[in-house]
Amino acid sequence: MPLNRTLGSITVTALTDGEGAFFQPRAEAFPQATAAHWAEADRRDPGSVTADGQWWLPFRSFAIRAGDGPVTLVDTGIGPTDAPAASWAPVPGRMPAELAAAGIDPADVDTVVLTHLHSDHIGWAVTGTPGRPYFPNASYLVQRAELDAAETLNPGLPAGLIAPLRAAGQLRVVDGETALTPAVRLLPTPGHTPGHQSVLLTSADERMLLTGDLLVHMVQLVDPTLAYAHEEDPDQARISRLTTLRTHSPTLLATPHLSTPFTPLTGG
């Protein structure tokens, strides 16, 4: 059964589409990290490193549901065998089974928030040939800055993702910070990609930050200034990471790639 946490009437369920070793040594993925950084990261998140020192990571999405209402899905995983992430991620993903285990039918999803358009976050967004939205009743929310950069991020995105969503009338472009409900807000957190966004949930005095790839490894919680090699704009990503973590601490982080889905952030 997928793991979940509650904030007031909201249930957040972690859906793990797959997991596997990263395609390059972690020292190359985080070139400024020191031995001390790695030692502390491994102490805090021992599941992220294999016996031979590889970076082991899950590929995770999150479902948000207030009571028995409609579902908001944050990201759509690595996808089926022919998904864009197939060249490097452990496809096929198991999202359909994870949704079923959580009691969610794809038709129950009325909003899909794509934190960004990297291939391991859009895998189940559009499937089949010709491509059709996997979640037939959902609006798919993308920041305008991300949409504008889509072809640069991946030349296949306009035809493979954007066009089918547009054709189905299911693409919703957002600009900047956007309230979806009184409890759910989109926060622009650019840098990893030009239009990267995170999702902030609030209920009374509780908060949860669904980070997307604002951070991708525990080493970036040990030291949020550490750049990740696959950020489009490392300086902007660093500013987003530092500012967002500082502004919204204390909070519970819901992360796609740490070995456990929910991580308390207690620092100031």
What's the pLDDT at 266? 85
Q: What is d(CA 89, CA 13) in angstroms, rounded to the nearest whole number?
A: 22
What is the DSSP secondary-structure string of 107-169?
Answer: GGEEEEE-S---GGGSTTTEETTTTEESSTTPEEEEEHHHHHTHHHH-TTHIIIIIHHHHHTT
Question: Each residue of 95-129: pLDDT tens digit?
Answer: 999 999 999 999 999 999 999 999 999 999 999 99
Question: Each residue of 25-51: pLDDT tens digit?
Answer: 999 999 999 999 999 999 999 999 999
What's the pLDDT at 1? 63
- Residue 221 is encoded by which pair of tokens? 């919680």
Whole-prediction pTM value? 0.97
What's the pLDDT at 205? 86
Q: How far is CA 246 from CA 40, 80, 265, in A?
A: 20, 37, 10
Q: Which residue has the tokens 């089949």?
A: 128
pLDDT by residue for the chain (268 residues), tens only, comes to 679 999 999 999 999 999 999 999 999 999 999 999 999 999 999 999 999 999 999 999 999 999 889 999 999 999 999 999 999 999 999 999 999 999 999 999 999 999 999 999 999 999 999 999 999 999 999 999 999 999 999 999 999 999 999 999 999 999 999 999 999 999 999 999 999 999 999 998 899 999 999 999 999 999 999 999 999 999 999 999 999 999 999 999 999 999 999 999 986 4
What's the pLDDT at 199? 98
